[in-house]
Structure 1
Amino acid sequence: MMVVSRFLSVGVGRLLGVSRYRLQPSPAQEAALLEHCGHARYVWNLAVEQHAHWQRGRALAPGFVEQCRQLTEARAACEWLAAGSIIVQQQALKDFHQAMANFFGQTHRRPTWRRRGRSEGFRIVAVKPGDVRRVSRKVGEVRIPKVGWVRFRWSRPVEQAKSFRVTRDAAGRWHVAFAVIPAPIPGPGTGEIVGVDRGVTVSAALSTGELLIVPPLREAEKKRLVRLQRTVARAKPGSKRRGKVKVAIAQLRAREGDRRKDWVEKTSTDLARRFDVIAVEDLKISAMTRSAKGTIEAPGTNVRQKAGLNQGILANGWGRLVARTEDKAPDRVWKINPRYTSQTCNACKHIARESRESQALFLCVACKHRDHADVNAAKNHRDTAAGLAVAARGGLLLGEPVNREPQRDLLLVG
């Protein structure tokens, strides 16, 4: 098995399928889909292992073409691997190659191992128009290699796509995401600018005074989650009982995630339709949510408090909200330097840490201006963007439509 041991692959670049549907496979089809997921995971992990052996001074790790050649050799040596789809396995390599490119481009972290039950999925390319069809008003079918026609819920029209990704979440739900790019949402054309300040207690505060909050789990759901977490802590590792409880926990987490995604989609669409420019803080969320544990030699401090803050940031969908708004309103989302925006009075522009009396209250120590702290910060984002718009357009009034395209690089801050 020397061919297999030296064959390695690359990290997966996520396919952001903006058109996702719930798959409804039969038991036999689900088993075949799990086989595809296993093959994609195996190829991916081999690629991770291969690149893990590379060190400075050695020959370069094999690229995508060389790995495809090694995959052909591995399929010839392993009957169980040859029984799978070559498309699924090659696309796992392609995803890894893209993930490594993202890592070296310093936009993503280094690709890591994929585990069974987590990050399950595979990608299909070269999709033809006849590979997706509508069966009835609410049922459609998609053709998957070596699986056949698999039904999915036709919740909205399916646009023609050249590829799609099949995924399975921790709750056991299957989805198919078609790689289509939706048309941008046109702005109102009034030149109106809104500032958005993201927080933990208030998910998004607008300069208009609106306070938007991601819908959390209900109280009964939170209590059930606590009971399930206590049960799984007492359950024997590897037991069927523990597996069932973990699935129940995953279902509650999936419900929470679905509500967050739904809130993000509705909020981003509303912002793109109502405002011509959306000003947000330029936050480095990945750096902000890093663990504070430290090392054995230099252990961190306030680790539990930092972990709670990290969970609050991620639970409010900070990054997803901005990303989806940028997708729907391209070139209309401006990122503002967040320095001192939470300590600056929007009325008199006095900067003082003492003005932020609490999480919710901003009371200026200079002019006694009172406002919600997050709304005050959002107004500062709006005013900064407005000043940039006036400067870039030679002093034109803000009431006119904003055309940012010619000065795109000039207007980016932070």
Structure 2
Amino acid sequence: MERRKVTFKLYPNAREAERLTAWVRLHCELYNAALQERIEAYRKAGKSISYYDQQNVLPEIKAARPEFVELGSHALQQTLRRLDLAFQAFFRRVKAGQTPGFPRFKASARFSGFSYPDPAGWKLLQQGRRGGTLRLGSGADAMGIRVRGRHRFAEAKPNDLTIIRKNGEWFASVTLRVPETACARERTDHQHRGVDFGLTDWATFDNGETIANPRWTRNELPRLAALQRQRAKKKKGSVRYKRLSQEAARLHERIGNLRREFLHQTTTELVRTCAVIATEELQTKNMSRSAKGTLEKPGRMVKQKAGLNREILSVGLGMAHQMLAYKAVEAGTRLHMSNTRQLKPSQRCSACWEIVPKTLAQRVHRCPHCGHTMPRDQNSALVVLIDAHTPGTGVAARQKPLARQRAKSKSLTRETPATTAQV
């Protein structure tokens, strides 16, 4: 059985929305009380309280506070487990020598929601193709909230549910257990394509075709800047300040929705038409690292690098790779991820396989060894496609990172230009 996550939008009426808000407030109160208990126990007695210690006290809490009863035992346990995971992450960062980030108390207005870790206490009733009802609770006090959304699986069993509150709207994130046969995607073609992801064009293929970069963030920057200027003139915490903050948050959410929809549609079309997809491994976190530097060694061209980082994060390269990874498995497509450090697709000639150093400003590949001329991104796409047809290459074949090496004239994965011509 495979697991797939589906998000539905909830449309509660005024009474249901008020009740959901009250439930979130109670979950937040439980989270903060459990955090306070752990802090006081260690401060006064040097004792560490575990998740199981706090879980065993839940019956007493429900006896003293009857309003917690309708939330469900499993949902309350999941809130305590959420705090326990925060502490586990804190101790892991301490051991690794990273910035620890001790778990913090949360305001109810900023508490994201609550979860049901199993199918108990809720039920999703699908009605029609695009709607349904989410039933929360049991008995006469159960809520039936209208739901919009659907999934593509003909056979699926719900596993867990998370109720999310975001920008004044409610969502239900459901994890489904789906048979492998129901996950399969139909493939309509058997193309072999190399893809180079970038900023000028979102994607460039080995045959020269391109997909334009929609530039969602850049298109909305004037509107976002106007909202931020208006908010800067308002008193912090005032009604108008909060209203403008919500408008800015909704604008960011819209940009994220547009990006996600584009990536889903594009990656689905790729795996539907390709038997082999070749691209290079991209470390988006390293690519978008700040150039600010330190007080002792301040960085250079910080403002320009910040703009470049914004464009890198806007195109969603990391999200595109994740989508391609699981969709390729579902469609039976082979996804080949070339090792960028060893292969150097942007610096290698696809005709003679020699290294041709280039700066970012050079958008055309001109090889001084063989005279091959081609647009830089198309040449990179062709290089990774050739690498995909070479046995034993790619990231999947080399799990450990390679040691730093000087650029060599001959590739470690391709030995002679004659082999390139045969592919």
Instruction: Give the TM-score band, short-chain normalised.
Output: 0.7 to 0.9
Does 1:123 pair with 2:115?
yes
Q: Rate the CA distance shift 1:318–1:224 in 2: closer, same or farther, 3 A.
A: same
Q: Rate the CA distance shift 1:304–1:362 in 2: closer, same or farther, 3 A.
A: same
After TM superposition, give the deviation of residue 95 of structure 1 in Å: 4.1
Kindly provide the amino acid, as one letter, of the partner of residue 352 in structure 1: V
SS at match of 2:389: helix
CA contact (8 A) 1:133 1:140 kept: yes
After TM superposition, give the deviation of residue 34 of structure 1 in Å: 2.6
- Return the TM-score normalized by structure 2: 0.73
CA contact (8 A) 2:196 2:204 kept: yes
State the match for 2:159 in structure 1.
162
Does 1:151 pair with 2:152?
no
Which 10-residue stretch deviates more, 298-307 or 262-271?
A: 298-307
Alignment of 1:3-402 (within 5 A): 18-43=5-30, 62-69=49-56, 84-97=71-84, 104=92, 113=104, 120-127=112-119, 131-135=123-127, 138-145=130-137, 148-156=143-151, 159-170=156-167, 172-180=168-176, 183-185=183-185, 187=187, 190=190, 192-217=191-216, 221-295=220-294, 299-330=298-329, 332-339=334-341, 340-354=344-358, 356=359, 358=361, 360-388=363-391
SS at match of 1:180: strand
> Structure 1, residues 185-213: CA drift from partner, whole Å, max 9, x if none?
355684x4333322233333333433224
In terms of Rg, which structure is larger?
2
Identity of aligned residues (%): 27
Gaps of 5+ in 2: 402-423
CA distance in 2, matches of 1:372, 1:54: 65
> Structure 1, residues 262-298: CA drift from partner, whole Å, max 9, x if none?
1111122112112223233223333443444455565
- Return the TM-score normalized by structure 1: 0.74
Q: Rate the CA distance shift 1:205–1:44 in 2: closer, same or farther, 3 A.
A: farther
State the match for 2:405 in structure 1.
none
Gaps of 5+ in 1: 1-15, 393-406
CA distance in 1, matches of 2:37, 2:277: 44
Q: Rate the CA distance shift 1:256–1:115 in 2: closer, same or farther, 3 A.
A: farther
CA distance in 2, matches of 1:204, 1:119: 38
Higher fraction of strand: 2
After TM superposition, give the deviation of residue 387 of structure 1 in Å: 0.8
State the superposition RMSD in angstroms.
Answer: 4.1
After TM superposition, give the deviation of residue 173 of structure 1 in Å: 2.7
Kindly provide the amino acid, as one letter, of the partner of residue 211 in structure 1: T
After TM superposition, give the deviation of residue 385 of structure 1 in Å: 1.7
CA contact (8 A) 1:207 1:378 kept: yes
CA distance in 2, matches of 1:294, 1:49: 37
CA contact (8 A) 2:281 2:395 kept: no
Which 10-residue stretch deviates more, 299-308 or 196-205?
A: 299-308
Q: Which of the pair has the greater relative contact order for Cα pairs under 8 Å at 6+ separation? A: 1
Kindly provide the amino acid, as one letter, of the partner of residue 124 in structure 1: Y
After TM superposition, give the deviation of residue 52 of structure 1 in Å: 8.7
- Number of aligned residue pairs: give it: 377
SS at match of 1:250: helix
Q: Rate the CA distance shift 1:409–1:285 in 2: closer, same or farther, 3 A.
A: closer
Kindly provide the amino acid, as one letter, of the partner of residue 15 in structure 2: A
Kindly provide the amino acid, as one letter, of the partner of residue 145 in structure 2: V
CA distance in 1, matches of 2:18, 2:257: 25
After TM superposition, give the deviation of residue 24 of structure 1 in Å: 0.6
